[in-house]
Structures are given as C-alpha cells and as structure tokens.
Amino acid sequence: MRCKTTWRLRAAGTGSGAGGGRRLGWRWGSPWRRLVPAAGGSFGSPRAAAPPGRGTRPEILPAESRSLPRGCVRLMEETAAGRGQPRQRAARPRGSRGRGTAARRGSTARGDATDGHPTDGAPRAVVPRARAESTPVPRTLSARSRATGGLRLREVLSQLSLGRQDVSEASGLVNHVVSHLIQAVRGRDGSFSSISRLGAGSYYEHVKISEPNEFDIMLVMPVTRLQLDECDGTGAYYYLSFKRSPKEKYMNKFLDEDGKLSADKMLQELRRIIKEEVKHIKNVEVTVKRKKPGSPAITLQIKKPPAEISVDIILALEVQQSWPPSTQDGLNIECWLGRKVRREFRHKPIYLVAKQNKKEKLLRGNTWRLSFSHIEKAMLNNHGSIKTCCESNGVKCCRKDCLKLLKYLLERLKMKHAKELEKFCSYHVKTAFFHSCVTWPSDTDWQYENLEHCFQKYLEYFLRCLQDSQLPHFFIPQYNLLSLDDKASNDFLSRQINYQLNNGFPVFHQA
C-alpha cells in the first residue's frame, strides 16, 4: 500500500538555511527508500541508502520534538503503538501548496529562526527546540569572511602586544630626555619660555603595535589673537598672522616680510636649541637626525642597546578660539559618543603644527596645519557608546583590536612594497577607523567574540575608500586624504589587501 503522507525530516548537513531542516516528501514503497520497523520495536530504520547527491542519511525526528502544523499525520506513533492505519492528512490552507510559495520559503530557508520560532509570520522552523538551543546558528558570512574566520587573529594580536617591562623602560627613558630638553628650552630665552608637553600618537592612544620604539611628543606654545587664513581649498592648511601687535614681543622675530608667522623660522630656532642641549644629557646617548623635507618633526634618536628609540618632537601652537568654518560639518559623533561629547570637544583649543603645504607653487615655509591629536586620543581612550566599555567592570569590545590589525597589515605591506605604498601612513587607517565607529556606533556592533566579522567589515570599508579614492578627513570633511592624483597607489594597495583578505592574510605569517 502506498501512502502519500508527507514526512518532516531533518537531514544532517542537507537542510536549507542555517541550522534548519528541509521538508522532504517520502512515499511509502519508494524504490530507493523504505521505512520498516527496526529491531526492538522502534520505527524508522533505513533499509537502503539515500540516493546519490542527497548528502548524508536523513534522521527522523522524535514525535515529541516535531512541529506538525496543518494536521500532519503522526504515522510513526500510530504504527509503533499498533493502532491501525494512519489517518488522512488534513487539507492545507489555500495558497500554501507548491515548493515556491512563501509558506515554504519561511524563516527556515533564510536561516533566521531563533529557538525554533518563526519570524515575520513564517512557519515554525523544523529544528526542535532542544537542538536549537544547544546548537548555535552560524552567521551568514561571505566567502571573504570565511577566509578571515579561518585565521586566528587573536594569535596575531598576542604577537603585537607590548611587553610591560619593555614599555616601562622605554617610556622612562623618553620621559627623562624630553623633560631635560623642555627645561633647557624654557631657560634659553623668552622665545619658548611658555612651552609645555602634550603626548600624542599611538603610544598614548594605547594602540601601539610590535615594539615601544617610536614616540610622538608635541611641544605646545599658547598664542593669542591669531588670524587664520586658508591657503588652499582643503581647509586644513592656514597662514597665521596676528590681529594686533602680539603680547608676546619675542614672536615678532618669527614673522616674514608679509607679516605672516613663519613655521620654518620657528622650527629652525627650536632645532638649534635642541641640538645644543642633547649634548648635556647624561647617561644617555641622544642624537638629532637630519631634517626631512616637509616634515614638521625634530627627530631624536636615543640609543638603547640592542635597539634605538625614535622620538618625534613636533612644534604646535595652541589657540583658544572658535574652530575654523571648515570643521563645521566634521566630527559627526552624535550617534556614537553623543551630542554632549561633541560639544565638549569643540570647546577645546585648536592646535596648529608647523607643516609645509606641498601643493603650494612656491614653498616659503609659512603654512600651518590643523591638528586634532588631542581629540583623537580622547576618542580612542573613551571609545564606547556606553561609558564603561572596556573598563575593568564593563564589557570589552574589539574596536582597538581591529585598528591594531589593520595598522599591522599596512605596516607589513609597506615593508614589501615600500616604493608603491610610500604615500600611505597609519593616519589613513585611523581615519577610516573613526568613520567605521560612526557607521557602526553601538558597542554590540564590536563585540569582543566577533573579532573576525568586525575586522572584515572595517577592512571592507577601507577598501571602498581606496577603490573610490575618497577618504574624508574626520574633522575636515572637504579634505580628501586619498587624492585622485594617487589613484594608481590607491588601486595597488586595494589589490594587495584583497589578495590578503581572500587568502587568509599570509603576510601575517611571514618572518
């Protein structure tokens, strides 16, 4: 006797959708599959294997675990109990027939059921409640994500972590040298008597990788009544002049013939003083490296056998006045850190570092660039949408871990392709990171256990920026950090990152 009763079966590994089974129509007396009573009175032992291409052998779910909507017949129970022939199947509601209907394409096919319950009015998932609770539903990730997930990113991060003893020794040595220089510079003459120190860069943002061998120190000079005039269309570079005769009379010697404050003259004077003073530092060998064209830094080299420590000293002017109009639409952190935090940040002073604008036709050394390193440090050290994020009593996220991984990836690629990637630096990576934090503002978007997924979406955002040659400055939206003039370099880096992403990041394993 043939029976057309539909069985709800779950085939291990062959179900449609994440963790779900599939409804298979089995006919009694099928030439390749028969259901017969097994030894011991249980029902459902297969006599023949599944047909080719069907995957593993289906498993008949226990009656107490099955969901039987629309009057599905309990054939197994009645046969095992010997209560005669199965009852006729109840009629289906109109519109539910056919494999392509919405009733069949419920949450089971999409893999979005939770605990066996349907969503959006779809039929119940065929996974039993007990199994749904014990077996997590896998995330629906792309092929790239599967390649990333195969990599043990935590092991890579453990290699990037800094040794506490090494950090302590290196920072102690840097503090000793810088403190000596600040005291000496203040006492030389009135030009830099009000100078103070401001730590900046990855070490003070707690995203330093590999070794504590590079430090950035800003030497800050407070200046009042400055007039800022844009020197190009980026909104980042300015000419500085005094609105009235400056209170600081010693600043007059740093003005050029047009009355503009010369960054070049101030850097030369500061470099001269530092070169003389490093000779008087005891117990430490310190040298001043040659000036790099266009660089705003005075670089010190501190001998620390068997290695060396590099310290970039950057001259910055602190101005207590409103931020320039070019920053009006930047720092869009309302949905991430809140409107109140943004208002507090914008009430802080602005800093201008002595940086030459390379787009000028005639390089005169009198341009200054806006710097927001103090705001960037504050955002990285308090990065959660919830204030207790990553605190000792709070929930840990993976934001900084993702930033470290992409910094390390760029660093390794630059070691292999120094010429092609010379225009890129860690600031491109950090800017993309801030934009990613705004795009995914919640702490649940950066859960610690989802490192692979979070790193992938951050990396793919950076790839889109490279492909479009468009990465707006986080504080100055009109300033594009990826110029179309460097389209070839952008495409080259995009290809390199895509290769690494699709092949499990082999560069992380190379010596």
- Helices marked H in 135-208: 143-149, 153-160, 164-188, 202-205
Residue of higher predicted confidence among 221 and 169: 221
**Mean pLDDT, the chain, whole residue set:** 74
Decide: 452 and 145 in contact? Cβ < 8 Å. yes
Residue of higher predicted confidence among 110 and 474: 474
Residue 341 token pair:
């935090």
Confidence of residue 31 (pLDDT cuts 50, 70, 90): very low
Q: Rounded CA gap, 103 and 126, in Å?
A: 13
Which range has the worst mean pLDDT, 200-209, 285-294, 329-338, 400-409?
200-209
What is the average per-residue pLDDT within 384-401?
Answer: 87
Over residues 325-371, the pLDDT tens digits come to 999 999 999 999 999 999 999 999 999 998 888 776 666 778 999 99
Confidence of residue 225 (pLDDT cuts 50, 70, 90): confident
Residue 297 token pair:
């830094």
What pLDDT is recorded for position 453? Answer: 93
Neighbours of 167 (CB within 10 A): 14
| Type and span of the H or E element at 302 | strand 297-304
Per DSSP, 391 falls in state: S
For the cut 60, the answer to whether the pLDDT of residue 278 exceeds it is: yes
Strands 307-319 and 350-354: antiparallel
Helix %, strand %, coil % for the chain, to 5? 40, 15, 45
Q: Rounded CA gap, 146 and 456, in Å?
A: 10
Q: Rounded CA gap, 96 and 8, in Å?
A: 16
Confidence of residue 404 (pLDDT cuts 50, 70, 90): very high
Q: Rounded CA gap, 473 and 79, in Å?
A: 72
Highest mean pLDDT among 83-92, 133-142, 424-433: 424-433
What pLDDT is recorded for position 458? Answer: 96
What pLDDT is recorded for position 6? Answer: 39
Which range has the worst mean pLDDT, 101-110, 190-199, 201-210, 478-487?
101-110
- Helices marked H in 278-353: 339-346
